[in-house]
Amino acid sequence: MISELFSPSVQHTLDIVGIFVFAISGALAAVRKNYDVFGMAVLAEVTALGGGIFRDLMIGAVPPAAFSDLGYFSTPLFATVLVFFLHPEVERINTTVNVFDAAGLGLFCVAGTVKAHDYGLGLVPSAALGLATAAGGGVLRDLLANEVPSLLRWDRDLYAVPAMVGSIMAALLIKFDALTGFTSGAAVVSAFVLRLCAMYFGWRAPRAWHRRSRATSEEEAQQAM
């Protein structure tokens, strides 16, 4: 289990760090949309906790951890305050924020898969909920910001795929009774490194073969000007 990798206190700290970084991205998205402080808080909370809440509701782990642990709920509020006053400075370290976001992605996709399986789900649904844990908050953030979710846009670096890799690895480790602290860590690191490579090299998922659509991405439109 993922809990074997770290002590409960360290695991809780890692969760808080991951939630904080996800919340930063949500609050920054609100700033770019010119939302007020309440809108910033909503996007921060949704981005940081939405995937975990969805998972917990699906597996019957109620109340969700986001509401039973004050630290989980209050961390996005702290991130909102930070971004409210210091958003220009936070924007300047956006690359660093993205690295921590990638680490949170790796941790949450594996932890979500394992928790779902612990509650009696099969391997495939567990992996799906692992993906939802890691990426679901970002989807809700984009929908609330009136944007097409990044996971559905080809002109965004791979995000869901690294989470899928980590979730599938965790599910396979469970299937073959090989889930240990070391192998769980390997799954986390695999998703993390794949996400970093996608950011660095600009990896994207392929579009339809021999695509004939006239629709262009923002990048293609700019190149055509």
Planar angle of CA 166, 170, 174, nearest 5 degrees: 170
Residue 212 in any domain: the answer is no
pLDDT band, very low/low/confident/very high, at 221 (cuts 50, 70, 90): very low
Given a contact cutoff of 8 angstroms between Cβ atoms, the answer to whether 131 and 118 are in contact is: no
pLDDT tens digit sequence for 56-108: 999 999 999 899 999 999 999 999 999 999 989 988 888 888 898 899 999 99
> Does some domain include residue 17?
yes
Residue 219 lies in a domain: no
Residue with tokens 């080809």: 154
Provide the domain count of the chain.
1
| Residue 63 lies in domain | 2-205
Any domain includes 70: yes
pLDDT at site 55: 95
Lowest mean pLDDT among 35-39, 107-111, 183-187, 215-219: 215-219
pLDDT score at 213:
59
Residue 148 lies in a domain: yes
Domain assignment present for residue 79? The answer is yes
Residue 195 lies inside a defined structural domain of this protein: yes
The answer to whether position 31 is within a domain reads yes
The 3 state secondary structure assigned to 69-87 is CHHHHHHHHHHHHHHHHHH
